[in-house]
Structure 1
Amino acid sequence: MIKPFFCIAIMLFGTQTAISAQSQSDHSSTTDKYTIDIGVFYANSDSNMAVTNPKNGGIFLIDFEDEFLLAEEQYLPYFEFTYEFNQRHKLFIDWKSLDREANNNSISQDFILEDIDGQDYLIETGAALNTEFNIDILRIGYGYDIWQGSNYAVGVSVGLHTMFVEIEFQGNIGTCALDSSLTSQCSNVVATPNVVDYSVTAPLPNLGVYGSYEFYPDLTFSAHAQYFTIKYDDVDGSLIDVRLGVEAKICDNWSLKLAYNYYDVDISIEKQRRINDNNIKTFDHNINYSFTGPMFAISYAF
């Protein structure tokens, strides 16, 4: 998933010289501005998903950091490209990568991964388990400055966040035998596969506000807040994205940016099985992810 975004960055840098030369010869483009940010963010992560209790069939949340020992804190890359045109308009795209992997030699509780490609899987207390949890977050949007001044701007935005989620469990995992009433709680384990994996692609539209204020020469405070909640067909999700930061211009075209970001997304996907010519709901696959931490980037504008 990561390779396409690096290709985008390389192409943008590769065409930088040509674009700059064209803008100098075309007076009408002098108000246009391109900005590339490449940096890292320090993520303090919290993630969980809904699983089934094999003893009573109840649903509970299992924590990826506590149970599967995935790292809570790490440095991760991000990339952002912004195109500002016609004084008030802007297009932006950014990407973050959050890849983690860990081993737990002794799981502390029994649980069922229910309805993964039509099959249930049992992980029992004491099992050894390797977990890989990868998320790429792609944000594409459009912004419009409602108010502008010589040293400030305030606007609104509309966009689309898309999460590409990949989860893989490898280790001592049993396959459950279902009965026709769909009430099996994994009392019959019929096989032990090595790997269980699945992926989810979750697009979430969003609405937001943003602003910037140059409070001192070459020092600018900026902020954005985006939110959306949606329930459509078999998907129910919500998104919160808030960032506060300061940009310091260090020389022509180059700046340093420091920000603090809070990001939280909660996605439920309703699952159904077809038994005896009837569609029967099992439960909602639930994935919750949030991170909070500082972000640092080097910015180039042309």
Structure 2
Amino acid sequence: MKISRPVLLAALATPLTACSGSQSVLEPSGPHADAIWRIGWIMFTGGALIFLLVIGLTVLTIILPQERRRWLAQQNVVIAGGIVFPVAVLSLLLGYGFFVTRGHVGAEEPTLRIEVIGEQWWWRVRYLDESGGVRFATANEIRVPAGEPVEFILKSADVIHSFWVPSLAGKLDMVPGKVNTYTFSADKPGVYRGQCAEYCGAQHALMAFYLVAMEPGSFDAWAAGQADPAWDRVAAELKYGRDLFIANGCGACHTVRGTPATGDLGPDLTHVGGRLSIGAGTLPTNIGTLAGWISSTQHVKPGVSMPSFGNLESRDLRAIAAYLESLE
């Protein structure tokens, strides 16, 4: 059964205008998401036809004279409509679903493996080499080469989370003590928003991330830069901010490779200035939001492990924020 995507989208354009964007199942940008899109529309269409059939029969029983609607109560009609028809329809839909999804399980050998660990309430991201060792780590943002299958190794550090990039693939749970794997790709370069799809605590709604699909050549250059330590800029203000970052104990929780900051409790900040957002998609990355996050973490995202550093003077706060923004 072939469905014209433009026709369906045009028919539902008005009620679904709020469902578009970088986090939408209605705008698939990968083979897995496209398969889900087709299965969804087929089931929606089938359900709508069955609904109309039931409504039509209900209307007939109301408007037809009693002697003309007796055929609806005949045994063969009840068996055909109440048993044979639903069993046949559901069996066809189940078979179609298995047929489509089977073609996407283990179909391609991944060219890249990324370990993603869900934590309350952020994402620890590790890029792996061929032996399974960690090439480099980042957080709350995933970059991949467009057009190439990527295997995501999904884990949880605390409670059940769910990894979901609606425009690229379906959701898969991250269960403590269990490792799930998921391989999918992005058809073209772009920025796609992901979200934790399993309630995981107070800040579940603010546990998002961005998946950036890049041209393969650009991705290789980016990955090579990410493996390098933080660039030790020489500007006086940045050195001052770096020293304040270390002096205030930030290195006890965060890593900035190439500095004394080697903490592992929070996100790796080695190249935080090059990310699209901070706080797991909560704020865009710039000096102002970095300063606001540091001074008022518990106001912006109550309950996270990082305390608010409201004791810092505005000059010192801006210096730390400028240093972090420079870490690209």
TM-score, length basis structure 1: 0.21
Higher strand share: 1
Tell me which structure has the larger Cα radius of gyration.
2
Say which structure is richer in helix: 2
- TM-score, normalised with respect to structure 2: 0.19
